[in-house]
Amino acid sequence: MPDRVLVPWQENLSAVPEGFDGAVFDGRGEPEDLSDVVFYVMPYGRGQRVDLLSRMPRMRVCQLLTAGYENAVPHLPDGVVLCNARGLHDASTAEHALALILADRRDLPRWSSDQREQTWNPHYTRSLAGSRVLIVGHGSIGRALEARLAPNECDIVKVARTARPGQGVHGIEDLHALLPEADVVVLLTPLSEETRGLLGEKELGLMRDGALVVNVARGPVLDTAALLGQEGRIRAALDVTDPEPLPEGHPLWTAPNVFITPHVAGGSDTFYPRARRFIDEQLRRWGNGEPLENVVLEG
Amino acid sequence: MPDRVLVPWQENLSAVPEGFDGAVFDGRGEPEDLSDVVFYVMPYGRGQRVDLLSRMPRMRVCQLLTAGYENAVPHLPDGVVLCNARGLHDASTAEHALALILADRRDLPRWSSDQREQTWNPHYTRSLAGSRVLIVGHGSIGRALEARLAPNECDIVKVARTARPGQGVHGIEDLHALLPEADVVVLLTPLSEETRGLLGEKELGLMRDGALVVNVARGPVLDTAALLGQEGRIRAALDVTDPEPLPEGHPLWTAPNVFITPHVAGGSDTFYPRARRFIDEQLRRWGNGEPLENVVLEG
- Closest CA of chain B from A102, distance in Å: 5
Q: Which of A200-204, A240-244, B52-56, B67-71 has the lowest mean pLDDT?
A: B67-71
Q: Which residues face A159 on adjacent strands?
A: A136, A170
For residues B104 and B30, membership in a common domain is answered with no
Given the residues B105, B170, B218, B235, select the one marked as catalytic: B218
A148 is catalytic: no
Q: Which chain B residue has the Cα nearest residue A273?
A: B130
Instruction: Say what the pLDDT of residue B69 is.
Output: 84
DSSP state of B134: E
Cβ contact B151–A151 (<8 Å): yes
The minimal CB distance from A120 to the residues B114, B153, B245 is found for B245
**Backbone angles phi and psi of B213, in degrees to 5:** -105, 130
- Is the pLDDT at B1 greater than 80? The verdict is no
CA nearest to B76, candidates B89, B97, B58: B58
**What are the pLDDT digits (tens) for B201-211?**
999 999 999 99
For residues B114 and B256, membership in a common domain is answered with yes
Given the residues A4, A89, A218, A235, select the one marked as catalytic: A218
Q: Which residues face A258 on adjacent strands?
A: A236
**d(C-alpha B163, C-alpha B172), whole Å:** 7
Cβ contact B128–A95 (<8 Å): yes
**d(C-alpha A186, C-alpha B22), whole Å:** 43
Instruction: Say what the pLDDT of residue A223 is.
Output: 98
Instruction: Say what the pLDDT of residue A31 is.
Output: 83
pLDDT bin (cut points 50, 70, 90) of residue A106 is: very high
3 state SS for B31-71: CCCCCCEEEEECCCHHHCCHHHHHHCCCCCEEECCCCCCCC
CA dihedral over A218, A222, A227, A233, signed as positive or negative = negative
Instruction: Say what the pLDDT of residue A67 is.
Output: 83
Q: Which chain A residue has the Cα nearest residue B109?
A: A112
- As a whole number, the mean pLDDT across chain A is 95
Residues of A in contact with B130 (CB under 8 A): 269-270, 273
- Is the pLDDT at B124 greater than 80? The verdict is yes
pLDDT bin (cut points 50, 70, 90) of residue A190 is: confident
Q: Which chain B residue has the Cα nearest residue A259?
A: B112
**d(C-alpha B70, C-alpha B150), whole Å:** 34
Beta-strand pair A81-83/A295-298: antiparallel
The minimal CB distance from A148 to the residues B126, B152, B260 is found for B152
Cβ contact A121–B151 (<8 Å): no
For residues B123 and B52, membership in a common domain is answered with no
Q: Three-state DSSP class for B289?
A: coil
The minimal CB distance from A267 to the residues B91, B124, B152 is found for B124
Query: What is the tally of structural domains in chain B?
Result: 2
Angle made by CA atoms B116, B118, B122, in degrees to the nearest 5? 105
B244 is catalytic: yes
- Closest CA of chain B from A193, distance in Å: 27
Residues with Cβ within 8 Å of B101's Cβ and at least 6 positions away in sequence, in order, are B128, B133, B149, B184, B186, B212, B214, B237
Instruction: Say what the pLDDT of residue B49 is.
Output: 85
Q: Which ipTM was obtained for this model?
A: 0.89
Residues with Cβ within 8 Å of B275's Cβ and at least 6 positions away in sequence, in order, are B44, B65, B85, B88
Instruction: Say what the pLDDT of residue A224 is.
Output: 98
**Radius of gyration (C-alpha) of chain B in whole angstroms:** 22
Pair B286, B292: CB distance under 8 Å: yes
Give Cα separations from B203 to A97, B178, B198, B223 (angstroms): 33, 10, 8, 10
Pair A178, A125: CB distance under 8 Å: no
**Test mutation, A268, A271, A277, chain B, max B CBs within 10 A:** A268
| Percent of chain A residues past pLDDT 90, beyond the cut | 86
Q: Which of A146-155, A186-195, B287-296 has the lowest mean pLDDT?
A: A186-195
**d(C-alpha A101, C-alpha A152), whole Å:** 12
DSSP state of B100: H
For residues B223 and B186, membership in a common domain is answered with yes
DSSP state of B215: E
The arithmetic mean of pLDDT across residues B48-65, rounded, is: 92
Q: Three-state DSSP class for B258?
A: strand
**What are the pLDDT digits (tens) for B235-277?**
999 999 999 999 999 999 999 999 999 999 999 999 999 999 9
For residues B143 and B243, membership in a common domain is answered with yes
Give one word for A195, left, alpha or beta, with left for phi > 0 and alpha for psi -120 to 50: alpha
CA nearest to B129, candidates A90, A135, A104: A90
| Percent of chain B residues past pLDDT 70, beyond the cut | 100
Pair A53, A76: CB distance under 8 Å: yes
Residues of A in contact with B269 (CB under 8 A): 124-127, 130
The arithmetic mean of pLDDT across residues B158-175, rounded, is: 95
**What are the pLDDT digits (tens) for A174-185?**
999 999 999 999
The arithmetic mean of pLDDT across residues B282-286, rounded, is: 97
- As a whole number, the mean pLDDT across chain B is 95
B250 is catalytic: no
**Backbone angles phi and psi of A28, in degrees to 5:** -90, 145
Instruction: Say what the pLDDT of residue B217 is.
Output: 94
**d(C-alpha A106, C-alpha B96), whole Å:** 7
**d(C-alpha B97, C-alpha B78), whole Å:** 38
pLDDT bin (cut points 50, 70, 90) of residue B199 is: very high
For residues A197 and A252, membership in a common domain is answered with yes
**What are the pLDDT digits (tens) for A248-265?**
999 999 999 999 999 999
**Test mutation, A65, A98, A254, chain B, max B CBs within 10 A:** A98
Instruction: Say what the pLDDT of residue A70 is.
Output: 79
**d(C-alpha A156, C-alpha A167), whole Å:** 12
Given the residues A11, A146, A201, A244, select the one marked as catalytic: A244
* Residue B75, CA atoms < 13 Å, CB-side half-sphere: 15
Cβ contact B153–A270 (<8 Å): yes
Instruction: Say what the pLDDT of residue B83 is.
Output: 97
Cβ contact B108–A108 (<8 Å): yes
Q: What residue type is B125 in one-letter code?
A: T
- Is the pLDDT at A68 greater than 90? The verdict is no
Instruction: Say what the pLDDT of residue B31 is.
Output: 83
Give Cα separations from B296 to A82, B82, B191, B282 (angstroms): 67, 6, 17, 14
**Test mutation, A258, A269, A276, A277, chain B, max B CBs within 10 A:** A269
For residues A248 and A184, membership in a common domain is answered with yes
For residues A216 and A288, membership in a common domain is answered with no
**Test mutation, B100, B112, B156, chain A, max A CBs within 10 A:** B112
* Torsion (CA) B130, A270, A272, A245 in degrees, nearest 10: -160
Burial class (CB in 10 A: 0-12, 13-18, 19+), A167: exposed
pLDDT bin (cut points 50, 70, 90) of residue A30 is: confident
Residue A78's domain is classified under what CATH number?
Answer: 3.40.50.720
Cβ contact A152–B95 (<8 Å): yes
For residues B84 and B97, membership in a common domain is answered with no
Would you say how long chain B is, in residues? 299
**d(C-alpha A71, C-alpha B135), whole Å:** 44
For residues A102 and A172, membership in a common domain is answered with yes
- Is the pLDDT at A45 greater than 90? The verdict is no
* Torsion (CA) A227, A228, A229, A235 in degrees, nearest 10: 60
Chains A and B: how many Cβ contacts under 8 Å? 180
For residues B45 and B95, membership in a common domain is answered with no
Cβ contact B45–A124 (<8 Å): yes
Residues of B in contact with A45 (CB under 8 A): 124
**d(C-alpha B261, C-alpha B131), whole Å:** 23
DSSP state of A151: G
Of B124 and B100, more confident: B100
Q: Which residues face B181 on adjacent strands?
A: none
Cβ contact A120–B152 (<8 Å): no
CA nearest to A42, candidates A65, A59, A58: A65
Q: Three-state DSSP class for B147?
A: helix
Residue-range definition of the domain harbouring residue B178 = 90-260
The minimal CB distance from A120 to the residues B118, B246, B273 is found for B246
**Percent helix / strand / coil, chain A, rounded to 5:** 35, 20, 45
For residues B128 and B249, membership in a common domain is answered with yes
